[in-house]
Chains A and B, each alone.
Chain A
């Protein structure tokens, strides 16, 4: 019996000591955590400062590590602890062999207390720290408290921490780590030495990935590594995660196309094709392509940001002569880029980038990415009509051309039709027929015009004046002018007829504005004269009365009530 039981007990022990699981696979980003300062990618200033602090024995009692995800905050905190508590230490090169080092690596530390502030947010946890902080470290030189995700502590907890944080015992070091330093109290910030971890550069990530690939025996081509680095968005953990996933997808050899599949990226060819379609303005083809992309399950947000990146590359090859350093591409790709860049102006590219950026922002919060994408692509194609600054400039120049053509035509037509009017220029526009004013005969007016402007022309452009006023937010004036008509134009005097006296009076007060607007639009200085047009009151009243009687509503009312119309009165 005993003989049989023995192996069972052994197995049992092995099972619970964790040995049973020793062979299980560990995520690459956990396996390749940096072990010493030299392994930390990027963050040169942080590492240098910390190293010097150790060498010069100027170790602060409270550190704050902040920065975006995956930049090495917690890892650096652990390395710092190792460096301080190593048997050889304090040293800048922890041995990773001695007991304290191994304990930290095995997540089983003695003198390092790691607190998850997001789960233990309350004041109780901080009180507990204050109790325990009095006992000296058991094995190492220092007792290190790492408070991770510190931004989630409650206000009470923060305040309870203040005193301890300012003057802990000699052997205690606090390391606070967070992604959101702006959520900390200023009193906490001022008690810590702050280290800002920056996003990692693409080159840094690539170096580290190359190193890991070599160690793991993975063959990955340069393009693939670049793609990973670009998609990680500055986070090393994201980068290694992607690498991990692509290894399990494609085995020991990773190519760019594998990555495109794993990440749901759209290939470069598709980007080139879509750009071509956009340049050509073929909406139907573009929508077809969008449909394909959506149906293939590509990551739509990624696709748009890749498109922005593509436009950016086009812009760079177009505008920068020495772009090798800025563009991470092969010579082959560069040639294709240059070819495409030749088809379009830089200003248009800038505009495309602007629109694409808008689409990207819109996509972030939508449940219907497909609709937004379709609309976005339509916008990209119809962008000339966009009302951005460049678009307006284009339209202005087009208008100028039109005006030029028009005035030329005018000059010729006047010369042929009205030879008796010899002076068309503004300066000589002074004389002629002062008495011929009361009748509103258009032909006569045409003859009497002495400026380069005729009344009919002016009438044609009346809407322009109204629009202009509307755009300038002169709504009141515009509304007042709406029912007025320019009735006469002579001797640089413009007469405007109003239907209502009140309107006339109001406009008269703002005459100057009107003069300015006219000057702006027609380039002519005109005196504005306002009149009240109902100079034939009887006639108009009669007209009005007939109008009213003929109106459908009135007729219906008469019918319904079976009555007669006794009196028609105007209500001003």
Chain B
């Protein structure tokens, strides 16, 4: 049925179904999980199931309510998404006004707020009162990637439903049943997706993504030999991926994570398994502490870009300069030894 669209989130779905069956729906839910694991789909399907006229614990996909929802045409399921980067206070004020009107045709009126971490401070605070005691017929569902990015007061008002990263095995099976892939490719895509099915699908459907990855890995390999001049060339190349710089940096991180594992003589479970030989070769040139340091630098840069409104070019350049200095220092030390 319609909850089947959500892959691999058995626990979350079980909890939701039990609540539907037992008629113990809470007035506020918070769906928590990494990006691309199916929260948003689950939230929408849950809303459909709540209002479905035929079935009690799932959406039938047949009744008028379900069909309206599928056509984005349901008057009692209202979706709120970031307007620009943020969800603003006016959007929440509109919610507060409209939520007081009884549902038009269903028993429940459901608001879904996607990417709730993008609620700006004012909006989040103005949500508090209505989230605690909405009208009897209202249910508010929030979806969020990281519990650290939301007010604890919001968190404590909602019932928390956790969505997990999918096990690799499951992603692989699903991919093999949905697409025709060679075993190597499905393995590669599974490990690159790192538990996020949506990413895996993206990798398959957008051929360029894989080619992009090759290019980015070339840049990673170049980092080791950087001097003060080439740093800026690499930075320029990185800035071509301005829109998805976080994903690019994630690829960097995965590469160094693999290096670390290889260094510790663990060859199983590499993400970049197709580069195994290269990794083994590369690993010889590094010390464990050095790799840890590199991961820390990239991680920090990633956080800064995500959290603050920084000058992207400067941040990337600073990161590369730091990495190249680290590389030089270590080479120097090695020579001394």
Contacts and interface: CB of A to CB of B under 8 A. Distances in A.
B156 A70 contact: yes
Contacts of A369: 34
B266 A119 contact: no
Interface in A292-323: 294-299, 301
Interface stretch (B15-23, B69-77, B208-216, B275-283): B15-23
A72 to B, nearest CB: 12
Contact of A247 (B24, B147, B265, B266): B24
Contacts of B266: 283-284, 287
Given A30-B133, A152-B122, A372 B25 contact: no
The 8 closest A-B pairs by CB, nearest first: A297-B164, A118-B125, A119-B126, A116-B129, A295-B167, A118-B126, A21-B136, A69-B156
Contacts of A25: 23-25
A27 interface: yes
Contact of A248 (B24, B160, B265): B24
A379 interface: yes
A262 B122 contact: no
Interface in A346-370: 362, 364-370
A119 B292 contact: no
Interface stretch (B56-64, B79-87, B299-307): B299-307
A445 interface: no
Nearest to A262: B15
B331 interface: no
B164 A264 contact: yes
B157 A366 contact: no
B181 to A, nearest CB: 21
B34 to A, nearest CB: 7
A555 to B, nearest CB: 24
A119 B95 CA distance: 11
Contact of B336 (A30, A152, A370, A463): A463
Given A295-B168, A366-B299, A379-B292, A241 B125 contact: no
B336 A24 contact: no
Contacts of A249: 14-15, 18
Interface in A206-265: 235, 237-238, 241, 244-245, 247-249, 261-264
B221 interface: no
A329 interface: no
Given A25-B25, A116-B128, A367-B146, 4 more contacts: A235-B152, A238-B155, A245-B15, A294-B195
B288 interface: yes
Interface of B: 11, 14-15, 18-19, 22-28, 34-35, 89, 92-93, 96, 122, 125-130, 132-133, 136-137, 145-148, 152-153, 155-160, 162-165, 167-168, 194-195, 246, 250, 253-254, 257, 260-261, 264-266, 269, 288, 292, 295, 299, 302-303, 306-307, 336
A364 B148 contact: yes
Contacts of B156: 69-70, 235, 237-238, 241
A330 interface: no
Contacts of A291: 269
A348 to B, nearest CB: 20
Nearest to B256: A371
A148 B24 contact: no
Contact of A27 (B27, B148, B167, B195): B27
A7 interface: no
Contacts of A362: 299
Contacts of A296: 164, 167
A247 B22 CA distance: 10
Nearest to B24: A248
A419 interface: no
Contacts of B264: 283, 378
Given A30-B133, A463-B336, A245 B160 contact: yes
A369 B303 CA distance: 13
Contacts of A368: 194, 250, 253-254, 299
A69 B137 contact: no
A375 interface: yes
B252 to A, nearest CB: 10
Given A118-B128, A249-B18, A365-B307, A69 B152 contact: yes
Interface of A: 18, 21, 24-27, 30, 68-70, 107, 116, 118-119, 121, 148-149, 151-152, 179, 235, 237-238, 241, 244-245, 247-249, 261-264, 283-284, 287, 291, 294-299, 301, 362, 364-372, 374-375, 378-379, 382, 463
Contacts of A69: 152-153, 155-156
Nearest to A299: B162
A520 to B, nearest CB: 21
A237 B157 contact: yes
Contacts of A245: 15, 26, 159-160
A297 B9 CA distance: 9
Contact of A68 (B152, B167, B299): B152
A28 B288 CA distance: 51
Nearest to B306: A367
Nearest to B168: A295
A298 B195 CA distance: 13
A235 B152 CA distance: 10
B125 to A, nearest CB: 4
Contacts of A299: 162
Contacts of B257: 371, 374-375
Nearest to B157: A237
B276 to A, nearest CB: 17
A68 B156 CA distance: 10
A107 B130 CA distance: 13
B136 A248 contact: no
A156 to B, nearest CB: 15
A238 B34 CA distance: 22
A297 B303 contact: no
A179 B92 CA distance: 20
28 contacts: A24-B137, A26-B27, A27-B28, A69-B153, A107-B133, A118-B122, A118-B125, A152-B122, A152-B126, A179-B153, A235-B156, A238-B155, A241-B159, A244-B26, A245-B159, A245-B160, A247-B24, A249-B15, A262-B15, A287-B261, A287-B266, A294-B165, A296-B167, A365-B303, A367-B250, A370-B195, A374-B261, A375-B295
Contacts of B129: 116, 118-119, 148-149
Nearest to B20: A248
Nearest to A16: B102
Contacts of B15: 245, 248-249, 262
Contacts of A298: 164
B22 A248 contact: yes
B18 to A, nearest CB: 5
Contacts of B253: 368, 371
